[in-house]
Structures are given as structure tokens and as C-alpha cells.
Amino acid sequence: MKFPIYLDSHATTPVDPRVFDEMKSYFTENFGNASSLDHSFGYDASVAVQQGREKIAHAIGSTMDEIIFTSGATESDNLALIGVMERNKEKGNHLITCVTEHKAILDTAHHLEKIGYKVTFLPVDEFGQVDVESVKSAITSETVLISIMFANNEIGTITNVSEIGKIAHDKNVLFHTDAAQAVGHLPINVEKMNIDLMSFSSHKIYGPKGIGALYVRGIMPRVKINPIVFGGGQERNLRSGTLNVPGIVGFAKAIEISQAEMDSENIRFKKWTGFMLEKLSGADAKLNGHPTKRLAHNLNVRFDGIESKAIINSVSKKIAISAGSACTTKMVEPSHVLMALGLDEDQAHSAIRIGCSRFNTDEEIKVAAEEIYSAIGALAKIRA
Ligand SMILES: *Cc1c(COP(=O)(O)O)cnc(C)c1O
């Protein structure tokens, strides 16, 4: 067994070798610019982009021309929120989102507030879910957009996306979802789920970093957005910049594999996270998030009275786990997601997040559970 065992899949995942193989030639011989259609180099690149776009659209139940390639979910979130709010000023200036969103949404929403838009940050219940009725009652005649994440990156809680989308559509409001943790892990159909815009990313599903997409509904309703990046007019003028051809090829392969293997993978993940929860319950672990409506590969638990930093450090030679979101771990502030569940600061500082991956093994999961279990035992003893 190789150490440390990687169990931080919500932060990022390794590139699947099948994805890497598919990408290789687009760095070297097939290096063309997909917009340079005067020769075969550019033409071949544009065909690769077209095929990639087709696979990605197919995976989420959209059409090809509804996919805008970006550098990742962060940029997609920025484009969705700023692009929709700016473009629809004549309709209103109100955005609805929720307190447990990724910083890519929260900080963009705060930016919009600063430049004069109104934002409602809805609370969540103890499991991390937004109350569908509270979404409904937050809508005003000024509301343009509702943005609620599909699955949470810290606690894995899955949102009732279809219902929120239905409410949005009934009220003639647009619905965006940050699905960076959901695409490739859960079945998604933007049509059936009433989604108008959706952000997702390649590196959370065993694809390369630096490539992602924003789905933007083309009909019923046709969603109009403003660009936030200007230049050569790529992506129907909505996201200028030379297309990341190897990234797109890898992203498409990654999503194709994830779709094909999702069901069997989730069965394995559920077994693993269930096993770990049971083992760690013997060390008084308490589950953060929803007991059933959660990502199968996520486990977020806390050990009251024991600091997560101490746990992470004491197992770090053997296991790579985190205290929460990768983007906030440098701060001393407790996780905004855990605080939103109603935990106090000490409780929020006692949580660890485990994210299983396709490349883990039964043996690794067993060893990891034992390592954490005995680390907790040792730390509890020191404290006593
Ligand atoms: C990872 C993540 C992001 C950011 O995605 P990048 O592609 O790294 O920019 C945004 N939202 C959620 C929910 C995420 O998990």
C-alpha cells in the first residue's frame, strides 16, 4: 500500500489514466487553435472540441450549443451570477442564494451587493438543506435569479434541485445551480430538473484542472447573459479566449467515464463511507450533514472536544484528509457551512472531511478508518 492514502476528493481528484491517454496528442501533434480553421491543425482541434462538447452536453441532457467552456466552476459561477444579473437589469436587481454555497458563489454575491444589487442569503436546516418554501417566499417582483448548489462540497448534502427549479419557473425567475460536486456523481438532467444555468468542473471528476463549463439554457426560456471576459469572441462571444483543447478532450472523457461508472462506483463509496462511519462511531463520531441525502463518497464527522487540526496532523503521514473546504483551510475561522448547521465554533473546529475516490481500495479504507480511530483514541487520552 502506498502512503499517504488520498481521501480528499472534494478538493480535487487525480486525472484518470484513461483521460490522460485521450488528452496526450492534443498537447503535441494535434496542438491547433480550434478557431484557426484555415488549415488542418485548427480544423482537427475544432472537431475535437465539437466531439467533447457533444459528450458533455449528452451527459447532462442539454444540447451542444448550451455549453460554454470556462476555466472551471469558479469562473462559471462568476459568469452565471454577474452575467445574468447585469443582462437582466430591466427585470430587477434581486438575487437569492444560500449561506452554505462555495466561496465562488458567496464572494460573487457579495461583489454584486457592493455594486448595488440586492442579495438574499437563505439559511439551511441542521442537515444543510434549504427549505423549499423559504425559497418561494423570498421571491419578489425584483427577483431575477435563484442560485442554490446541487451538492455541498464540505458535508455532501444534496439539495432538492428539481423542486427549487420548478418554483423558479412558476415564478418566472431563472435558476442556477453550482453542480461542481454533483456532475459525474449523481444522475443529472437539466431539462427534467428545471435547471437554467449550471456550473461544473473537470477536476472533481478525474479530469484535468483548469477546465469547466457553464450550461446556459437555450430555449424555454432562452437565457440571456452578459460576458465577463472580452476578446476574440469564442463561445458565442460569452467567453473569449483560445479554447483549452486538451482540457476539453480530457473533461469530455472524464464525464463519459463517470456517467458509465457512476452507479457501481456509488455502491462502493456507500459501502466505504458506511464502514468508516460505523468504525468512527465507536470513537464518538457525529455525522455532519444529511444522513441519507448525501454524496456517497462524502463523510464529514466531528469528534466533540478534539480539534480537527490535531487529528489531521496526527494521521498526515498515512492519510490525506482535510478539515473542510480547500479554499478556506488557511483561515482560522470555522467553516461557514458547519456554522450554518447550527454548530458552535468548537464543534465546527472538530470536524474532518473524508472524500473517497475511484482509485481507493477496500484495504486503504480499512487502514484509514483504523488510523483515524486510533488517533482519536490517543488525542482523547491526552485531553483526559
Ligand atoms: C470545487 C468547487 C468549485 C470551484 O471549482 P474550480 O473548478 O476549482 O474553480 C466551486 N463550487 C463547488 C461546489 C466546488 O466543489
Q: How many CA atoms lie within 13 A of 350 on its CB side?
A: 17
Interval between CA 314 and ligand 1 midpoint (Å): 28
Interval between CA 301 and ligand 1 midpoint (Å): 21
Catalytic residues: 327
Task: Dump pLDDT digits (tens) for 327-380.
Answer: 554 557 899 999 999 999 999 999 999 999 999 999 999 999 999 999 999 998
Taking a C-beta distance cutoff of 8 angstroms, is the pair 75, 182 a contact? no
Write out the three cell numbers for 119.
442579495
pLDDT confidence of residue 382: 81
Task: Kindly state if the Cβ of 185 falls inside 6 Å of ligand 1.
Answer: no
Give the ligand 1 atom nearest the CA of 151. 13
Write out the three cell numbers for 156.
455532501
Task: Dump pLDDT digits (tens) for 98-116.
Answer: 999 999 999 999 999 999 9
Give the ligand 1 atom nearest the CA of 210. 7
**pTM metric for this prediction:** 0.97
Task: Kindly state if the Cβ of 109 falls inside 6 Å of ligand 1.
Answer: no
Which residues neighbour 343 within 8 Å (Cβ) at sequence distance 6 or greater? 288, 302, 334, 351
Q: List Cβ<8 Å contacts ≥24 apart for 196-200.
A: 196/165, 196/168, 196/221, 196/223, 197/80, 197/84, 197/223, 197/225, 198/60, 198/150, 199/73, 199/76, 199/77, 199/80, 199/104, 200/60, 200/73, 200/76
Buried b (16+ CB within 10 A) or exposed e, 217-249: beeeeebebebbeeeeebbeebbeeebbbbbbb
In this structure, which residue's CA is closest to atom 14 in ligand 1? 180
In this structure, which residue's CA is closest to atom 12 in ligand 1? 180
Task: Kindly state if the Cβ of 73 falls inside 6 Å of ligand 1.
Answer: yes
Buried b (16+ CB within 10 A) or exposed e, 10-24: bbbbebbeebbebbe
In this structure, which residue's CA is closest to atom 7 in ligand 1? 72
Interval between CA 208 and ligand 1 midpoint (Å): 13
The count of other CB atoms within 10 Å of the CB of residue 99 is: 16
Phi, psi of 291 (to 5 degrees): -65, -30
Task: Kindly state if the Cβ of 100 falls inside 6 Å of ligand 1.
Answer: no
Pocket test for ligand 1, best of 102, 203, 206 (most atoms within 8 A of CB): 102
Domain parsing of the chain, residue ranges: 5-13+262-383, 17-255
Taking a C-beta distance cutoff of 8 angstroms, is the pair 200, 66 a contact? no
pLDDT confidence of residue 298: 98
Interval between CA 292 and ligand 1 midpoint (Å): 23
Give the ligand 1 atom nearest the CA of 101. 13
Taking a C-beta distance cutoff of 8 angstroms, is the pair 157, 151 a contact? yes
Interval between CA 250 and ligand 1 midpoint (Å): 17
pLDDT in single tens digits along all 384 residues of the chain = 899 999 999 999 999 999 999 999 999 999 999 999 999 999 999 999 999 999 999 999 999 999 999 999 999 999 999 999 999 999 999 999 999 999 999 999 999 999 999 999 999 999 999 999 999 999 999 999 999 999 999 999 999 999 999 999 999 999 999 999 999 999 999 999 999 999 999 999 999 999 999 999 999 999 999 999 999 999 999 999 999 999 999 999 999 999 999 999 999 999 999 999 999 999 999 999 999 999 999 999 999 999 999 999 999 999 999 987 655 545 578 999 999 999 999 999 999 999 999 999 999 999 999 999 999 999 988 877
Task: Kindly state if the Cβ of 204 falls inside 6 Å of ligand 1.
Answer: yes
Q: Cα separation of 19 and 203, whole Å?
A: 11
Give the ligand 1 atom nearest the CA of 325. 15
The DSSP letter of residue 202 is S
CATH number for the domain formed by residue range(s) 5-13+262-383: 3.90.1150.10
Task: Kindly state if the Cβ of 32 falls inside 6 Å of ligand 1.
Answer: no
Q: Cα separation of 171 and 158, whole Å?
A: 23
Q: What is the DSSP string of 276-318?
A: HHHHHHTTT-EE-S-SSSB-TTEEEEE-TTS-HHHHHHHHTTT
Task: Kindly state if the Cβ of 104 falls inside 6 Å of ligand 1.
Answer: yes
Q: Which fold has domain 17-255?
A: Aspartate Aminotransferase; domain 2 (3.40.640)
Write out the three cell numbers for 184.
459525474
> How many residues belong to the chain?
384
pLDDT confidence of residue 133: 97
Diameter over CA atoms, the chain: 74
Pocket test for ligand 1, best of 204, 298, 322 (most atoms within 8 A of CB): 204
Give the ligand 1 atom nearest the CA of 76. 9
Place of cell 430587477: 92
Give the ligand 1 atom nearest the CA of 150. 13
Q: Cα separation of 119 and 143, whole Å?
A: 9
Q: Name the nearest CA neighbour of 29 among 18, 13, 45.
A: 45
Interval between CA 178 and ligand 1 midpoint (Å): 8
